[in-house]
Amino acid sequence: MRWDVVATAFPALLSAVPMTLQLAFIAVAAGFFLAVLLAVARLSGIRGLSGLAYAYVYVIRGTPLLLQIFFIYYGAGQFDAVRASPFWPILREAYWCALLALSLNTAAYGSEIIRGGLMSVPKGQIEAARAFGLSGMRLFRLIVFPQALRVMLPAYGNELILLLKATSLASTITIIDVTGMARTLASQTYAPVEVFVCAGVIYLALTTLSTLAVQSVEGRLRRRGGLALQG
């Protein structure tokens, strides 16, 4: 072990942590909104709409994320329509391409989690709410959402951790996140073991912190009324 490499590599890798976190958290947030729309479309009962949402999820889940990143970064520029569009200045940048690909990807997985959560709310409880005059957004806000959230949260926490690690793929299109920085340092120092071990330690710390954060939110919900209490 070359401790001198560790001593210089570690701070350099730490300086790339904000990029990794940014990619993960912005993608999860943006992906969540799209995921809600997709889940609602799936459950809408409107055939065209739910078919479209299903197809989207099917394609995204059935192809590698790396391919999706390449498709957007290298592929988008081939279409004249894209180059002529106002989005071109954005799609030309690796950062936005990575964010877009990660968001679109996590939205597909997220929509399945949300759909499962919404479907887990017992029908009888929704019916009781309707029988007492609750409907529309109020029914959703008071009865459906709080119960769906309890089911969704653990799975969504897991998705956040998967995505946190998946951001490393962005390094393949010139993004200097933790992995991107590690690759640069490894080739400069000829000490890949030291550098990648350091990077691994950083990812481990990030995923551990995320897990703890999600668990604390779950715990707070449980104390406010039984995550485990179904029925």
Partner 1 sequence: MTHPLPRPVDGAGAALPTIETRDLRKNFGAVEVLKSVSFRACEHQVVSIIGASGSGKSTFLRCLNFLEQPSGGEIRFKGESLHIDGAKGGARQRDIERLRRRTGMVFQQFNLWSHWTVLENVAKVPMHVHGVSKGLAEKRAIELLAKVGLAGKKDAYPSALSGGQQQRVAIARALAVDPELLLFDEPTSALDPELVGEVLTVIRSLAMEGRTMIVVTHEMGFAREVSDKVVFFHNGRIEEEGAPGEILKRPQSPRLGTFLSSTR
Is residue 9 within 8 Å of residue 198, measured between CB atoms?
A: yes
Q: For binding to partner 1 (CB under 8 A), which residues are involved?
A: 122, 124-125, 127-135, 138, 142-143, 146-147, 150, 225-226, 229-231
CB of 52 to partner 1, least distance (A): 27
Nearer to partner 1 by Cβ, of 83 and 224: the residue is 224
Residue 204 in tokens: 């481990």
For the chain, give me the number of helices (H) and strands (E)?
A: 12, 0
Q: Shortest CA distance to 201 belongs to which of 214, 185, 183, 182?
A: 182
Nearer to partner 1 by Cβ, of 77 and 122: the residue is 122
CB of 208 to partner 1, least distance (A): 29
Nearer to partner 1 by Cβ, of 57 and 143: the residue is 143
Residue 110 in tokens: 């997220």
Nearer to partner 1 by Cβ, of 142 and 209: the residue is 142
CB of 97 to partner 1, least distance (A): 41
Q: Shortest CA distance to 70 belongs to which of 97, 88, 103?
A: 97
Nearer to partner 1 by Cβ, of 24 and 129: the residue is 129
Residue 143 in tokens: 């009865």
Radius of gyration of the chain measured on its C-alpha atoms: 21
End-to-end, the C-alpha distance of the chain in Å comes to: 56
CB contact set of 155 (below 8 Å; sequence gap of 6+)? 113, 116, 117
CB of 231 to partner 1, least distance (A): 5
CB of 146 to partner 1, least distance (A): 5
Cα(12)–Cα(25) distance, integer angstroms: 21
Nearer to partner 1 by Cβ, of 62 and 136: the residue is 136
CB of 122 to partner 1, least distance (A): 7
Is residue 117 within 8 Å of residue 152, measured between CB atoms?
A: yes
CB of 152 to partner 1, least distance (A): 13
Nearer to partner 1 by Cβ, of 78 and 123: the residue is 123
